Structures are given as C-alpha cells and as structure tokens.
C-alpha cells in the first residue's frame, strides 16, 4: 500500500453553525457537498478537497474525549494493506461512504487514535 496524501481532518462539535462559519469566513474554506450521512455536519473545501469534516454532536466532548475524531489518508493498494493488517493481527473495519463508493479502512494506533485509510472504488480488495 502507498499513501498518497493527507485527505482530511474530522472534528466533533456541538457548535456546528459557528464552527462552519469560522472555517468559511476566517480560513476561506468554502462549505460544499457532503454525503447523506445520518448525522449532522458540514464539509469545508481547500481547493477541490473536502479537507475539514465537521461532525455535529449533542454535547461538546469533555475531558479526555477527542474533538479531533480522526485523520485520514488517501491510499492505493488496498489488498496489500489488508493483508498486512491481518498478518500483524491489527483490528480494522471497512465502511463505504454513501453515494461515493470510497472505501474506508479504519484502524487505531497504539495510543488509540483513529486513522482512516481511504481507497477509491476501483482499488476494492476482494
């Protein structure tokens, strides 16, 4: 597997409207299309990339709960990556982004940080 770029950051917030306005007005990241997830949120674009994903939560994360929910890389070579995870006995799960076909392989690092590795539909491993 080869990582090609950092894809996005995912931030949990109980203040969706002010957060969205900040990323749009202050940082100049335009609000744009977002898949039809079952939860609220907003995606803000840097060029053509949805670089900041805001996820709406009822209550602000407290204490040790992360506000930065995960970070994501775009990659190629899903089959090789899944073989390595299985060989090293690293737990993972796979999800498909609605209406896009993008495959997300979700893993955690040794400290428990959530990392998403994205593969385009044509890179699907059987």
Distance CA 103, CA 119 (A): 5
pLDDT digits (tens, 9 = 90+) for 70-115: 888 888 999 998 998 999 899 999 999 999 999 999 988 876 778 8
Domain that holds residue 112: 2-123
What was the pLDDT predicted at 64? 73
Residue 125 near residue 77 (C-beta atoms within 8 A): no
- Quote the number of domains for the chain: 1
What was the pLDDT predicted at 45? 96
Burial of 70 (0-12, 13-18, 19+ CB in 10 A): buried
> Above pLDDT 70, what percent of the chain?
97
What was the pLDDT predicted at 3? 87
DSSP string, 22-48: IIIIIT--EEE-----SS-EEEEEETT
Distance CA 26, CA 11 (A): 17
Which residue bears the tokens 């089959």? 79
What was the pLDDT predicted at 111? 66
Q: What is the CATH number of the domain that holds 87?
A: 3.10.180.10
Which of 104, 97, 102, 106 lies closest to 121, judged by CA?
Answer: 102
State yes or no: pLDDT of 125 exceeds 60: yes
pLDDT level of residue 60 (50, 70, 90 thresholds): confident
pLDDT digits (tens, 9 = 90+) for 38-52: 999 999 999 899 999
Tell me the pTM: 0.71
């Amino acid at each position: 597997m080869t990582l090609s770029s950092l894809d996005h950051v995912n931030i949990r917030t109980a203040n969706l409207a002010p957060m969205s306005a900040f990323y749009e007005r202050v940082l100049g990241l335009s609000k744009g299309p977002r898949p039809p997830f079952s939860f609220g949120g907003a995606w803000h674009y840097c060029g053509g990339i949805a670089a900041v994903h805001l996820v709406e939560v009822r209550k602000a994360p407290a204490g040790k709960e992360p506000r930065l929910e995960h970070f994501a890389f775009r990659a190629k070579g899903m089959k090789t990556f899944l073989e390595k995870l299985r060989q090293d006995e690293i737990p993972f799960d796979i999800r498909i982004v609605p209406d896009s076909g993008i495959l997300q392989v979700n893993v955690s690092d040794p400290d428990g940080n959530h990392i998403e590795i994205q593969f385009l539909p044509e890179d699907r491993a059987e």
